[in-house]
Chains A and B, each alone.
Chain A
Amino acid sequence: MIQAKYTVVRGDYARAGEASADIKRTLKQLGVDSSTLRRIAVASYESELNMVIHSLGGTLTLVIDNDRVKLTSNDLGPGIFDVNEAMQEGYSTADDIARNYGFGAGMGLPNMRRNADKFAIYSMVPDGTTIEMEFNIG
């Protein structure tokens, strides 16, 4: 079993995506096929960017257990008031800074759900948001 934990900093656009890039490299070294790798990388990157853009900061955790990859994002708040609304394609509260970086289409959460084999989101205001995703790599 391989495990890695990355700290994700609020508003740090310059480094946003580095955790996901590292996760992708790790999985590539393990021989994960390119289309599965792409699904995991996209979902990971979207969750990492959401923590940079919308949260106070948090962590991204990777667990590789035999033929299963688990990715968990866990942030420090402020949480999502209405998760169903946030899951809708096109729903976004991203600010101008995020939009200037190319984010705020309201596609991140739907992208995660579509790419992951298992997807769960838990959120509490003001405690924070946790997203658990699983991918079969077997």
Chain B
Amino acid sequence: MMTIEQIITALDARVLRGHDKLDQNIYCACCSDLMSDVLAFVNNEKTALLTGLTNIQVVRTAEMLDLKCLIFARGKVPDEQVLDAADELGLVVLTAPRTMFTCAGILFEGGVRGASLPWPGLES
């Protein structure tokens, strides 16, 4: 588990939206550019989505799953329209100046875990 504040420090991330919601705990993270994979695997709302995609469907996916935090890797910043949609849902949106791989490694090291897979015999 990490708080969003701890995630920001660890990733050198910048807060794009949700400055007043940084004290939340994040237990899981999902790292993908495939939204249907995210929709298949995430089953915990205290989950951050780490992705390189910046379009509106990332926000919609987060909305369907009640996610709390979006992290855009490689310093990507979505359009204002996308950010405002995320803001309306109360999401915290971060951008981090590292690759997805490095971001994921740092989060794992900090105690964030992958979503538990719905199939028996597979572990995150």
Contacts and interface: CB of A to CB of B under 8 A. Distances in A.
B60 A21 contact: yes
A84 B34 CA distance: 22
Interface of B: 33-37, 39-40, 43, 45, 51, 53, 55-58, 60-61, 63-66, 118
A103 B66 contact: no
A102 B57 CA distance: 8
Contacts, number: 79
Contacts of A21: 60, 63-64
A14 interface: yes
Contacts of A110: 40
Contact of A45 (B39, B53, B55, B56): B39
A108 B36 contact: yes
A38 B56 contact: no
Interface of A: 13-14, 16-17, 20-21, 24, 34-35, 37-38, 41-42, 44-46, 49, 100-108, 110-111, 114
B65 A111 contact: no
B39 A13 contact: no
B36 A17 contact: no
A105 B55 contact: no
Contacts of A100: 55
